Structure 1
Amino acid sequence: MPNAPFPMQDSIIAYGVDGRASLVEQPLETLEESAFSHLVGVIEFTDDESVHADHWEIHPGGDEILYVLEGRLLAVIEHDGRPEEAVIAAGQGFVMPRASWHRLKVLEPGRLLFFTPTQGIALRPVAPDAVRHGSPATA
């Protein structure tokens, strides 16, 4: 990674298992998962699709750290088979616990700083009725 400033907006940095950081191109599907352990970046969220609200996500490799720079998000965490919700507003951070199924929904468009462990990330679709009716029910 060059020793020069770069714009964080829409940038993603991969933190390698070797302890090196590198600026990566999107889409992330092109990255070799075993080569890095964490991602950090800033994304703009405008609607539920921009935070893949139609899928539950899990990070068995560690906690995920979120910091809302602007806007508001609804965090939904599945705990003992039941959804728990929290609103994250601008200026607030939130920790998604390791190995917990979770998802986000956009309440007000904005920007999000994230620090995500990558090992073992998995996605699971939300039940169609839950997406259509806005319910946080699981698949």
Structure 2
Amino acid sequence: MTTNPASSPSSPSSPSSSSADTTDASDAIDAIDLFALALTFHPDGDVRAGERRMDGSDSDAWQIATFHVETDADVHADHWEMHPSAEEGVCCLTGGARIHFRATGPGGAEDMVRLPAGTAVIVPRGRWHRLELDAPSDLMSITRRHGTRLEKRTDTP
């Protein structure tokens, strides 16, 4: 388990330090900074906090990642992204964003969904998408990262 460096022995999430406490250090329960670490949910029910990964090296695991973003560069607005192994939940916790979906056929138009604070969109499996911000935002994504692909936009202004 990865612990939050901001946790202190006096925090409510820290185990008691009484002499009667039989909890060993490996069983410690601490708060996790979701803006620094991702949560990975494994098929066997195991949940781990660790480094955010774009490559999905753990093919059957789901990742929840939260980001504070201020500019389009923070959300790689100049790239399309696609997850072939699962749908993705993209949640706007604060601020505002737009998610663009690449046209599915030649000559088609992009689709766009606005995400004001407190809303989410489900990105279909295998659908190319990208984000743009309306304001500095806190975003959360939930998906299986295995096989995730990024592709540079060729239609940038």
Name the TM-score, length of structure 1 as normaliser.
Answer: 0.81
Distance in 2 (alpha carbons) for counterparts of 1:32 and 1:45: 22
1:65 is displaced (CA, Å) by 0.3
Higher Cα Rg, which structure = 2
1:101 is displaced (CA, Å) by 0.5
1:86 is displaced (CA, Å) by 1.2
Unaligned runs of 5+ residues in structure 1 are: 134-139
State which of 103, 108, 116 in structure 2 corresponds to 1:89: 116
Counterpart of 2:104 in structure 1 is 80
1:97-133 deviation line (CA, Å, top 9, x unaligned): 1110110011111101211211211111101xx32x2
Counterpart of 1:6 in structure 2 is 32
Structure (1 or 2) with the greater helix fraction:
1
- 1:91 partner letter: G
State the percentage of identical aligned residues: 24
Distance in 1 (alpha carbons) for counterparts of 2:111 and 2:100: 6
Distance in 2 (alpha carbons) for counterparts of 1:59 and 1:113: 15
Distance in 1 (alpha carbons) for counterparts of 2:59 and 2:104: 33
1:3-23 deviation line (CA, Å, top 9, x unaligned): 332222332112234432111
State which of 42, 46, 57 in structure 2 corresponds to 1:20: 46
Q: CA RMSD in A?
A: 2.0
Unaligned runs of 5+ residues in structure 2 are: 2-27
The answer to whether 1:46 aligns with 2:81 is no
Distance in 2 (alpha carbons) for counterparts of 1:71 and 1:32: 27
Aligned length: 128
Structure (1 or 2) with the greater strand fraction:
1
